Every structure is written in C-alpha cells, then in structure tokens.
Chain A
Amino acid sequence: MIGNNPWLDGILRLLVVAVAVPLSVIVLNYLERKVIGRVQNRLGPMRVGPYGTLQSVADTIKLLTKEDVRPSTADQWSFELAPYVVVVPTIVALVTVPIMPDLFIRNLGLGLFFIVAVSTVPIVGFVMAGWGSDNRYALLGAMRSAAQLISYEVPLILAVVAVAMVAHTADGGRGTLNLTEIVDGQDKVPYIFWQSLAFFIFTVAGLAELYRHPFDIPVAESEVVGGPFVEYSGMRWAMFQLGEYVSLVLISLLGALVFLGGWNWPLVNELAERNAVAGTALQAVLMLGKTSFFILFFFLMRAAMPRLRVDQLMAFSWQVLLPLSFYQIIVNGLVVVYGWPDVVLGVLSGLGLLAGSALTYRAVRKPTMVRRPRPVAARQGSEVKV
C-alpha cells in the first residue's frame, strides 16, 4: 500500500493505469506498424521523429482535433455512446490484473471471473455502433461481431476456467480464481505444460476476441469496409482504436499470467533469495517478455493470414474449440477429484491438442465439398434496385 490512506493508495494506482494505458496504446500502434512493415518488405513509418517514433503521437493529435461527424440519419444516443461502452469495460477490466507482485489496483479474490465478466460488455457497444450508424455495412459488421464474440467468448472462458480448476493454491489445494495465486502456483512449472490444449484454445479464441486475422470478419476492410466503425471519425474512432489495443494488452497479460507463469517462472525465486533487487528486475523482464510474446504473435498473425468466412468461423468455434474445451474441463475434473498428479494432466491435454490439430488439419486439407452455384432465374425487367 502506498501511504497509509487506502483512498490515496487507490487513486494513485488508478492514475498510474490511466496514464499508462493511452501511452502503451501509442507505443503499440507504432510497433504494430513497424512489425507489419518489416514483414511486408517496407520500413513502416519513418518520417515523423527519429525512425518515425512520433508518428503515432502525430496521428493521435490529428484524431483528437478532427471534427466529430455524426450522420444526420444516425441514432444520436446509441451512436455517441457506443465508443464509451466499448472502451470503459476494457479499461475497467485492467483494475484487477496484477502486472507485478505489488503492481495492481486491487487484487480481487474472484479476479479472473471479474475480468471475464467485464470484458464481454463491449459486444453491446459494437452492436450499438452498428445499429446507430444507420449504415448497412455497419449493421452487417455489428451482426457479425455479435455472433463472433458470443461464440468465441465461450471457449475463451472455458480455457481460463480449466486452468483455474487445477491451479495450485498456497494451502496445497487446487482451484482458485485469484490471479496472484494462479501465478504463485507456477513457480516450478507454468501451466502451459499441464494445459497445452487450454493454451491453444485461449490463443485462438483470443485472436477472435480481438478481431485479429484470420478472424477480423466484423471489421473486414474488403467486405464491410471497417464494419461498425465505418461512420466514425476523429475522437470517437480513436476511442474504438483505444479499446482495441487495450483489450489486446488485456488478453496478452491474461495469457502471460495464466499460462506462461507470469513474473514467477523461471528461476525468479532462486535469484530473489540471493539478491532481491535482481529478482524484481527479472520479474519485470519476464512479465514484459511474456506479454510481448503474445502481442507480437497477434501482430504477425495480422501480417501473415487471410480471413475466414463467417460460417467457417462459427463452425470452428462450435465444432472444434468448444468440444475440445469440454474435453479439457472433463479431464481436469477427473484429475482434481481423484487427485492424480500434474503429469497426467499434461499428457491428456497434450493428446487432446494433438488430436484436435490433426482433425483440423485433415478438415482443411481434404478436398472440400464442391458447391455448385444454384440455377439463377432470369430476372424480370432490368430496373436497378437501390
């Protein structure tokens, strides 16, 4: 606790997050453009500031000073409130994410539950944006985003729940929703080794949650021209961008904490016993590195993958990810009830991952069913419908 006053402490911690979030978004935006630029054989931003480092700052200033345009036919309330509904919950979810052993706003006993619950709210914002814009592309995009988020929310939640079921607690038992405890349970082996299937499900569903390729269907540039955001400009559009990057950070942090051992693995305790400062430094490096790993993965997927179709996306969620996550939950339940060692967990989860990948690979490689175009009746007249 900073100082003796819990209120002062809380406000200070909130301030740190409130400043860090927009800053990290600016940095991430720059990094994403650089990384994708390198993949695509170009330099990325180079003009504003040394190596283009101030490009995102310039873009932010441009967006903030731009006129706030609202289409005359738009629904005022839902159009103007939608960005807030998207941004606020994502930032609120950060309240309970511990970044270091003592760097968090409030550590809740039900932290994981809180994050999962709050981060589903933005769906409402996307639907509001799509409906309120009075634009057909936006409407299509909103319908797609609602369908996609709802179907990928389930495997994502089940994946983290699977870990929470088997997480070691301080008193030697299993099962906790407290993120700090989950991290503390990974000082020897991170849960990615015992829960590889859940890790896979989490990563894929996270991609879909973030509208990243190959799941960027709701915001597809070449189909629905940006989806729900098509009518937004200036500040409100910037808020959607903010929400996108904050949830990117949130999912990456969650992945690092729940699956990769957070600040606690490897060799942290051994180092901290000899030198406390070096231990803390290593913790910071580990946390940064693991989060960056996820963020970089999301960036690279964007550069390297085309887009799935909406029905393929649904089929993948309901037919592949959901059964696999149920399998993981059942296995975890058996392990917890019968008190089997972690190795059993790892082997069974790995087998599930292998089976799932093999089935998916076969489904993609096999000659797809040929869909003949259905006969089209000749049209009456030639008038153009608008």
Chain B
Amino acid sequence: MAVQPPERELETLDLYINVGPQHPATHGVFRMVLTVDGEVVEDCDPVIGYMHRGNEKLPENCDYRQIIGYHDRTDYLAQFNTEWTYCLAVEKLMGLEVPERAEYIRVILGELNRIASHLMFMGAFGTDVGFFGTSFMYTFRERETIQDFFEAVTGERMMYNYFRPGGVAWDVPDDFEEHARYVLDRVRTAIDDIDGIMTENEVFLARCRGLSPVTPEQAINWGFSGPMLRATGVKHDLRRAEPYSIYDRFDFEIPVGTQGDVYDRYLVRLEEMRQSIRIVDQALRQMPKNGPIMASGLKRTIRVPPGEVYARTESPRGEYGVYIVSKGGDKPWRHKVRAASFCNLSALRNMVVGNYVADAIIILGSIDIVLCEVDR
C-alpha cells in the first residue's frame, strides 16, 4: 500500500501591524491593531483611551460656568457646538429664556464652526486618500478666515469659551455682519475648490465609491449619527427632527446619501457645508441689530434646581449629548457626555475587516473622529 505523502502547504503567518498611536493617518492618538494577511485586513482591534482626561468627572467639581471650558476640550473642532449643547442642558434645567439676539449669534457661530470642522475633515480625508497636502492647503486657507472671525468675536482661536447658560459672554464686535459675509464669500470659493479637486477625480472615485457600504438598519443598530447616518439614506438631523434653539426659522435641506459608502459620507459633508452657508446667510439677515445678549436675573453663581436633563444637538460629527443630574447647589451631581464620534467609531471593526490596509485608513478617516471627544 503506497503511503501518500502529507500535503504540504506553504506556511504563512498573519502579520500584526500597530497603526498608531503615532501614525500620520490616525487623526490623533488612536491605535488600530490590524491583523493583515498580505494586504487584506483579517482583524482590527481599536484601542482608545490615550487622550482620556476625565472630562466627564472633572466638571462635577466645578460650578456651572466653569464647566464650559471642559466642553471646548471634548470636541476641539466643533467647540461652539459642544458649548451650545451644555448651555442648552443647563437652560433646560433652569427654565431660562435666551434672548433673541444671543440665539442668532449662537446659530451663526455654530454653523460656521460646522463648516470649519467639515473643512478640516476634507483636508485630512484628502490626505488619507493620498493628496500630497493639496487638499489640506486648500481647506486650511479658508478655515483660517473662519478662525480669524472667531478670534475677532471671542478673543480665542481654539478654546472659545464664549457661550454661557442664558446667552453669550459679551456682545459681538460692530463689524460682525460684514466680517461674517466676507467669511461666507471666502468659504464658498473653498468649497468649490475642494469640490473641483476631489469630487470628480477619477482616482478619488475609484478609491471611495462602494467602499464599506452601510445599510440604514446597520447604521441605526450601530448607533450612528450625523453624516455617517445620513450617508446611508436616513434623513435624521436633530436640527429638523427636534428643532432646538431657533432652527425652525431657517430654510435648509438635509443632504442624504444612497449607498452609505465612504464616498457618500464625503458628499453629505460637502453638501452640509453649503447648507450651513444658507443658514448663516438667513441668520445674518434676520438677526436683530440691538438687544440683550444675556438672560436677565442671573446671579454671579448659577444655582440649578434639582432634576436631571439630557440635551442634544447636531454637532458636525453627529449627536452630541449632555446629561446632567443636579441635586441643587452650584455643581452638577452627575455629568455625562454622549460623544458622536465615539459611537461612530465603535463600528470600525465591522467596516474594516475584509478590506485592504489602504482602505482601512480611508474608512477610519471617513468617520471623522476627534480623539479628544472619543476619549473625553
């Protein structure tokens, strides 16, 4: 009886690659442990926590006005939107009425902040896809004008600390409207530039279309929000779904995608910037020229009645929520943040596995994470 020789296969090993915490494509200190078989990702292990600073616990020892600064530092690309959410929560708990003019200032700054954040996304995403810095330079030129505008209003370029429960800290400069119009004009050209260099680029299309498509059901199950959710075709935007502040007064569209792939996420963000320009334009026209910017009757130290509240807004990355439990007094008893990019990031493994290493980078980029918000 002839003995068959045992079948010999070439022995192969999976390779573990640490992408991050220091890597040009991880947008901060995020770490992906990729198990790759050649170029294909077999498994992905996201590791977070490098940026944890206790931004949820620390505010429990601060009084209500001191907390605003901590919210600047959660999502450092959408500071106004985070401050706004927190102020909404406190106002809800106290039953404060925000003056008309302050609401308009908030809307204008918040929407411009959304544009600035999306511009940052476009630049970083372009670099992930492989532009040699061109997308970065194009977007940052106009992001700079937005930052100059914010600096003129708040005196800060990054941690604005400008919104207060009940209104805004101080009145805007005299040339607020002209400056804002100038910024809008510049931003329009920036969006057109980005549109021109990226949207129809054949290589860009080849890379992004059909990559990691997510169905609406999956998106809802995974807790997606913001552009990640809308790219799948779910028309859910908190500015329309439960209009906070004065968003019911503006006329704007909610862009949605069809495939839920990386390309749709990009397109949704591109169109959102255009819609934000429309909102700012309308707000500038409707804004009262004079009037109070702060609710009346507030003491030096805010004391909040006992109760609990959850306020949420549509930040550039999705639903940013603040949960506060107050037992009376000048400090919250419990303070919790629902970070949009944390929930969006949680599906990373599901989206990445089975794709190429190069695609993993793009998928991560398309989530538009801010690690300070993820780790808090």
Check if B126 sits within 8 Å of A306, measured CB to CB: yes
| Interface residue stretch chosen among B57-65, B209-217, B231-239 | B209-217
- A369 to B, closest residue via Cβ: B210
Chain A residue numbers with a CB within 8 Å of B146 are none
When the two chains form the complex, which single residue of B47, B353, B361 contacts A223, counting CB atoms closer than 8 Å? Answer: B361
Task: Tell me if A62 is interfacial: C-beta within 8 Å of chain B.
Answer: no
Whether a CB of chain A sits under 8 angstroms from the CB of B28 is no
Central interface residue in B38, B141, B357, by most chain A CB within 10 Å: B357
Residue interface mask B337-371, A partner, CB < 8 A = 1:
00000000000011111111111010000000000
Q: Which of B210-226 contact A (CB under 8 A)?
A: 210-214
With A40-B134, A306-B126 in contact, is A137–B203 under 8 Å at CB? Answer: no
Instruction: Determine the main DSSP class of B at the interface with A.
Output: mixed
> Which chain A positions have C-beta within 8 A of B210?
367-371
Assembly CA distance A306 to B361 (angstroms):
14
A312 contacts chain B at the CB level, 8 A cutoff: yes
Apart from A223-B361, A306-B130, list 18 A-B contacts with CB within 8 A: A140-B357, A222-B25, A222-B127, A222-B128, A223-B25, A305-B130, A305-B201, A308-B206, A309-B207, A312-B206, A368-B206, A371-B213, A373-B214, A373-B353, A373-B354, A376-B353, A384-B33, A385-B35
Nearest B residue to A36, CB-CB: B132
Task: From known contacts A306-B129, A373-B354, infer whether A386 and B134 are also in contact, taking CB-CB under 8 Å.
Answer: no
Query: Considering residues B25, B203, B211, which has the most beta carbons from chain A within 10 angstroms of its beta carbon?
Result: B203
> Is B24 in contact with A41, judged by CB distance below 8 angstroms?
no
Contact (Cβ within 8 A) B261 A309: no
For chain B, give the interface size range. 35 or more
Say yes or no: is A290 at the interface (Cβ < 8 Å to chain B): no
Cβ of A234 within 8 Å of any chain B Cβ, yes or no, is no
A residues apposed to B, CB below 8 Å:
36, 39-42, 136-137, 139-140, 143-144, 213-214, 216-217, 220-223, 225, 302-312, 361, 364-365, 367-374, 376, 379, 384-386
- A contact residues around B23 at 8 Å (CB): 225
Contacts A310-B358, A364-B202 given; indicate if A137 touches B17 (C-beta within 8 A).
Answer: yes
In the complex, what distance in Å separates the CA atom of A225 from the CA atom of B23? 7
What 9 A-B pairs have minimum CB-CB distances, sorted nearest first? Answer: A307-B130, A40-B137, A306-B130, A368-B210, A222-B25, A306-B129, A364-B202, A374-B354, A370-B210
**Chain A facing B: main interface SS:** loop
| A-contact 0/1 string along B43-61, CB 8 Å cutoff | 1010100000000000000
Q: Choose among B197, B259, B355, B358 the residue that contacts A304 (Cβ–Cβ < 8 A).
A: B197
Q: Chain B's nearest CB lies how many Å from the CB of A66?
A: 21
Are A213 and B211 neighbours in the complex by a CB distance under 8 Å?
A: no
B15 within 8 A of A: yes
Contact residues in A for B213 (Cβ distance below 8 Å): 370-373
For residue A58, give the distance in angstroms from its CB to the closest CB of chain B: 21
B172 within 8 A of A: no
Say how far A286's CB is from chain B's closest CB, in angstroms: 30
User: A36, A220, A309: which has the most chain B beta carbons within 10 Å?
Assistant: A309
One of A41, A223, A302 near B358 (C-beta < 8 A) = A223
Q: Closest residue to A212 on the B side, CB-wise?
A: B132
A-B contact pairs, 24 of them (CB 8 A): A40-B134, A140-B15, A140-B17, A140-B357, A214-B130, A217-B358, A221-B24, A223-B25, A223-B358, A306-B129, A306-B203, A308-B130, A361-B202, A368-B209, A368-B210, A370-B261, A372-B213, A373-B353, A373-B355, A374-B353, A379-B43, A385-B16, A385-B45, A386-B33
Report the separation of the CA atoms of residues A371 and B45 in the bound assembly, to the nearest whole angstrom. 21
Nearest CB in chain A: distance from B178 CB, A: 24
Chain A proximity of B212: nearest CB distance (Å): 6
Check B245 for interface membership: any CB of A closer than 8 A: no
In the complex, chain B residues whose CB is within 8 Å of the CB of A39: 134
Picked from A143, A216, A367, the residue with its CB within 8 Å of the CB of B130 is A216
